[in-house]
Amino acid sequence: MTANPLPARLDQVLQSLPRAYAGPGGAVAVLRAGEVIVRHSWGWANAERRIPFTPSSLFRICSISKQFTCGLLLDAFPDPDVLDADVRARLPLLEDAVPGARHLCHNQSGLRDYWAVAMLHGSPVEAPFGDREGSRIIRATRSLQFGPGTRYSYCNQNFRILSDILEERTGRSYAELLRERIFAPAGMETAFVAADTRAMPDGTDGYEGTQAGGFRAAENRIRWTGDAGIGASLDDMIAWERHIDATRDDPDALYRRLSVPVQFSDGAAAAYGFGLARSTEFGRAATGHGGALRGWRSHRFHVASERLSVVVLFNHLGDAAAAAVDLLAAALGEERPQPGAPVPAPDWVGDYLEPETGLAARIDLPRQGQVRLRFGHSAERLDLQADGTAGAARTRLRPGDGGLWMDRPGENLRTRLVPCGGSGRLDVAGRYACAELGTGLTVVEAGGTLYGAFSGTLGDGRMELLDPVGADVWTLPCPRALDHTPPGDWTLAFRRDAAGRVDGVTVGCWLARGLDYARVD
């Protein structure tokens, strides 16, 4: 628990976490001005072996690793632009403008995420994905999904490429560099590179499932590096947060350099840079990141103006980000926003296509006062407003000139959605091939219903039931993938020739979009 009595509200939130976010175990910390006010764990690091979850239990911090990769890069190469040629060398077939190292740090590279592309190559969800598979997909890149610096899209291999470059440039391993340049100075005594995807060395395991349906140990067979490869305990993360506070007044401190404002190429402010998300929490600027792989969820916030940090580690798929917000609100003495007066349902609910990304945007009414948007990585619930709009942290929908507009400032995207009309047509069944990737898509009509699957160098994917969005727009669900959750449903936007025959399809999801498949049967 904690050394001193806690404010009542913070203690209440702390005690509620094991049931509010049910799972085998977890650990959380809250720090103010470098002092630990919460250091708490519960449950089991390994439920089968009855190993307790403690603040010293080793944990996969997953994508929180990205800030450490960027910190290592800035420490070794204060000007990331000197590594641009190294990035170019790893993309020998790229026909578009090549992103620079800084674009990779900010998730503005335009590269498609390689874990998502692996699913297009037919990878079974439990298949190995290591150095060979990762390098093959990266080196085969021929096009980008947007121009470098113009948009934001989450892309894991941005950080794998960076860690590979650091190893080549320094002649030392990523693990050695982290230990010497980051972990030792910060006092992170047990942090290490956990590239092996089995249980952690101390037996801590990650779990899939729910309290109602039961939990089972999650199987991961990905080899991680700079994108999601670090293992650390809660105590290691406490040391990191204390190091951030201790160096707060040093203009050359690593975290200050990681937290600098970032822009897109048009000058618009970016909400992500150097492996850190920038957000506003309860009216205060915050930096942080989440981490999630199959069986593991984590989140951390740092509010510099309050000298306040929150860390949440779950060895299950509970919503660590929501738990972190709960703790942050209690520590700040703030309340989560409450719904306002009921707002009538809008007349723009329906199915759309976003023209730039080519992705379906499906909008429905989950409950009064909200709409649900299925567009990006996962569904978003947007609160309806009295002015006819709907919004949440990442997205705003608003009726305007010419139809319904969607604003996603974090991605530098402002777009008018195109309504999808008509019912799904079954004559899209057939075989399709993507020349760029060397992959295939098979769509089969089985008893009046369409099913589809991808195939490629990694195997033949499982046939999945397609969902109609419009006359020639369908989605192919990806209920499980290499990562902790699927990359988002795949949009299949079929096209027809002058005679009305289907001759191709554009395939994409939020993490990997704009890929052309031609009909081959």
Q: What is the mean pLDDT of residues 402-424?
A: 95
Share of the chain above pLDDT 70, in %: 97
319-364 pLDDT per residue, tens: 999 999 999 999 999 988 777 778 889 999 999 999 999 999 999 9
Q: What is the mean pLDDT of the chain?
A: 94
A 10 A CB-CB count for 470 gives 21
User: For the packed helices 65-76 and 157-170, what is the interaxial angle rounded to 10 degrees?
Assistant: 30
| Higher per-residue pLDDT: 125 or 41 | 41
- pLDDT greater at residue 175 or residue 485: 175
Q: In this prediction, what percent of the chain has a pLDDT beyond 90?
A: 85
Distance from C-alpha of 17 to C-alpha of 299, rounded to nearest angstrom:
14
pLDDT mean over 29-34: 98
Residue 45 is which amino acid? A
What value does the mean pLDDT take over residues 116-127? 89
The pLDDT confidence band at residue 4, using thresholds 50, 70 and 90, is low
Mean pLDDT of 287-309: 96
Under CATH, to which class is 8-78+172-332 assigned?
Answer: alpha beta
Residue pair 193/174 in contact by the 8 Å Cβ criterion:
yes
- Residues annotated as catalytic are 63, 66
**CATH number among 3.90.1150.10, 3.40.50.300, 2.40.160.40, 2.40.128.50, domain 350-419:** 2.40.128.50
Of the candidate ranges 126-140, 329-343, 372-386, 396-410, the one whose mean pLDDT is the lowest:
329-343
> Phi and psi for 303 in degrees, rounded to 5?
-110, 100
State the pTM of this model: 0.95
Residue 2: the pLDDT is 46
Fold of 426-519: Lipocalin (2.40.128)
Q: What is the largest CA-CA distance in the chain?
A: 76
Reported as a pLDDT band with limits 50, 70 and 90, residue 482 is confident
Residue ranges of domains in the chain: 8-78+172-332, 350-419, 426-519
Residue-wise pLDDT for 161-207, tens only, equals: 999 999 999 999 999 999 999 999 999 999 999 987 667 999 999 99
Q: pLDDT band at residue 219, thresholds of 50, 70 and 90?
A: confident
In this predicted structure, what is the pLDDT of residue 195? Answer: 81
**One-character DSSP codes across 242-306:** HHHHHTTT-TT-HHHHHTS-EE-TTSPEESEETTEEEEEETTEEEEEEEEEETTEEEEEEEEGGG
Are 350-419 and 426-519 equal in CATH topology?
A: yes
Note the pLDDT of residue 485. Answer: 65
Q: Alpha-carbon Rg of the chain, whole angstroms?
A: 23
pLDDT (0 to 100) of residue 486: 61
Q: What's the pLDDT at 468?
A: 95
What pLDDT is recorded for position 197? 67
Answer whether residue 82 shows pLDDT above 60. yes
- Mean pLDDT along residues 104-129: 92
Q: Write out the two tokens for 63.
A: 């994508």
Task: Please tell me the predicted confidence (pLDDT) of residue 5.
Answer: 62
What is residue 221's predicted lDDT score, i.e. its pLDDT?
81
Per-residue pLDDT, averaged over 477-490, amounts to 75
Each residue's pLDDT tens digit, 235-286? 999 999 999 999 999 999 999 999 999 999 999 999 999 999 999 999 999 9
Judged against a pLDDT cut of 70, whether residue 3 lies above it is answered with no
